[in-house]
Amino acid sequence: MYHKIRLNHYLSDAGISSRRKADKLIQSGAIEVNGKPVFKLGTIIRTDDIVKFHGSKVKSKNKIYILINKPKGFITTTRDQFNRQTVMNLIPCLFEYRIYPVGRLDCSTTGVLLLTNDGYTAEKLTHPKYHVKKIYRVSLNKKIKNEDLDKIKKGKIYLKEGKVKVIFVRKIRNAKNQIEIGLDIGWNRVIKRIFKKLDYQVVRLDRINFGGLSKKNLKIGDWCFLKTKEIENITKKYEKNNHY
């Protein structure tokens, strides 16, 4: 099975260079696809195309998918200039692999996070045009009023990016001051800003589902490998829904 991917992503996934440096390699004429030099930035190739770098065939690395139940206090990046703990500190035995977090969670936000070296999957789960569903459990500083819940449901909350449209929002039965909210927008700190607009403070935020990936039985701070088939089922779902 093949899929389409940007050439610079393919080179980055294969460990040739970063995506930014890959663009420079493409412009220099050092990259060939199916025997022809490629100079155009943004070129899309198939994963079964033959890609060469200075005449040597580029081999794509084995794909790695790691699901983490991210704890509070970890930065969602591969490194931090202030030497704060990053999610990579949760998987020290895998430092040798060139993997990176897909999307971001605030330092104080917990829950489902995917790390991979698969640029194709990363794009499908983060690009706004694919409308990837995320579900969060939100703990507030006080009980939410029904009229405020209705405002969220009916799209009456406006932030600087525009009207906030959620997939659903509901109270959690027998859980004081807690709600669940599902949405497919990726605006920065969107949930905290929604409730701040309504004069609530988010005291805990936990992502319980990301694009169909759940925490399963992972304890906070634990991680596990995912099978390629599990990831393919997710990306196929977006193909079926015509998000391409």
Burial class (CB in 10 A: 0-12, 13-18, 19+), 207: buried
Please confirm, yes or no, whether 148 is among the known catalytic residues. no
Burial class (CB in 10 A: 0-12, 13-18, 19+), 11: buried
Closest Cα to residue 101, out of 75, 81, 135?
A: 75
Stretch (H or E) spanning 60? none
Among candidate residues 23, 80, 106, 222, the one labeled active-site is: 106
Contact 68, 90 (CB under 8 A): yes
CA 51 to chain centre: 27
Q: Which residues are catalytic?
A: 106
